[in-house]
Structure 1
């Protein structure tokens, strides 16, 4: 089953609450929340207070993507803020297995993100214990980038490993996803799609989500 996870980094922050309610009304499956610290990635976005403030606006699961250094230091705070899935970067955590188990100890879902040049093989032994893997199909930190095509091979590789070690594994992709390529990327094996500008473009959330789903 295909899931659409709009990234609120592309929302209109002057009416963030309205946009989040519109996501639920118009068929989004998750709310994707990009947390950036200005160190792991160049940009700084938002953190725990913002997540707390919007948690009561929707029943949609919060898919919290931590693009930060030493993510394990903040896991409990993000859980308390309302995260339902926490994604940490393989490249940002030297004790990734410990962090995954720590996330799961709170009774929520755990995921690992891989930057474009990080091989899928790096997380082979984690796959049985993961709920989701996020394949970055652009370099993290900025919206509006074009899909990196060699990442398609990574999605295929991950699908094979998922079928072998964890058939319930969700495969999420983030970066350059739009109505023109979402079907093709789904055929590679992805089933959770992060979309920022493709959802919030021109404020036409309902139409944009409908076009993304297409005939998937």
Structure 2
């Protein structure tokens, strides 16, 4: 994971065909996905239940890019080692998931993987100001976590701008997760985001047998974001 601020598209496999994860991962990567985003939910911190470490370990051999594991779980610390051992390249924990986000980020780094910190829509940017030096990425949620296909929350744009200003010249990615489409991607890209998570906007209309549609969707999001950067 070398660092640069180019636009990266990270399809969320929560929107993929659950019966064909390996083929779906290979299809999105072949069609231009930069990262593969894995949404881990516990039915407690968020109202949904998804992938445990064995599932993530099963995804790993199919991921040739970056496996980006977003832990929407609380408590988070007891599970960091298991997700690292499952093959995550980057693990993101929520600032809201426990009282000691500094310790959580230290624990992620101790596993030899990249560390991200996530902010829910109701949490101000300033909540991560004192842990940025432990972070490789800040994730700004532009929906309330727990479900795919939700409507983009526009307050995330100004939050992204604040996070970008706080980061300065440090090599820290800004990821956006929630309601990313060709219409919303330019808004966050212009504000400073470089990693865009998209679920339904990538997978809609396509399939493993019609993976070209995934490619069209990925290219549309990327082109819209890059155009906002160049204006």
Q: Same fold (TM over 0.5)?
A: yes
- Cross-structure match for 2:222: 213
- The alpha-carbon deviation at position 167 of structure 1 amounts to 2.2
- Cross-structure match for 2:133: 128
- Superposed counterparts of 1:179-194, under 5 Å: 179-194=182-197
Cα displacement string for residues 76-120 of structure 1 (whole angstroms, at most 9, x for unaligned residues): 100110100000000002111111011111221001100001011
1:83 aligns with 2:88: yes
- The alpha-carbon deviation at position 202 of structure 1 amounts to 1.1
Alignment partners' CA distance in 2, 1:58 and 1:41 = 26
Give 5+ residue unaligned stretches, structure 1.
Answer: none
Count, aligned residues: 214
Q: Counterpart of 2:193 in 1: which secondary structure?
A: coil
Q: Which of residues 26, 32, 44 is equivalent to 1:39?
A: 44
- Superposed counterparts of 1:1-216, under 5 Å: 1-163=6-168, 167-203=170-206, 204-214=213-223, 216=226
- The alpha-carbon deviation at position 169 of structure 1 amounts to 1.0
Alignment partners' CA distance in 1, 2:127 and 2:84 = 26
Alignment partners' CA distance in 2, 1:133 and 1:58 = 22
Q: Counterpart of 1:214 in 2: which secondary structure?
A: helix
- Cross-structure match for 2:210: none
Question: What TM-score, normalized by structure 1, do the two folds share?
Answer: 0.96
Alignment partners' CA distance in 1, 2:161 and 2:219 = 26
Q: CA RMSD in A?
A: 1.0
Q: Counterpart of 1:29 in 2: which secondary structure?
A: coil
Give 5+ residue unaligned stretches, structure 2.
Answer: 1-5, 207-212, 227-231
- The alpha-carbon deviation at position 122 of structure 1 amounts to 1.1
- The alpha-carbon deviation at position 184 of structure 1 amounts to 2.2
Q: Counterpart of 1:193 in 2: which secondary structure?
A: strand
- The alpha-carbon deviation at position 57 of structure 1 amounts to 1.1
- The alpha-carbon deviation at position 154 of structure 1 amounts to 0.4
- The alpha-carbon deviation at position 14 of structure 1 amounts to 2.1
Question: What TM-score, normalized by structure 2, do the two folds share?
Answer: 0.90
- The alpha-carbon deviation at position 58 of structure 1 amounts to 2.3
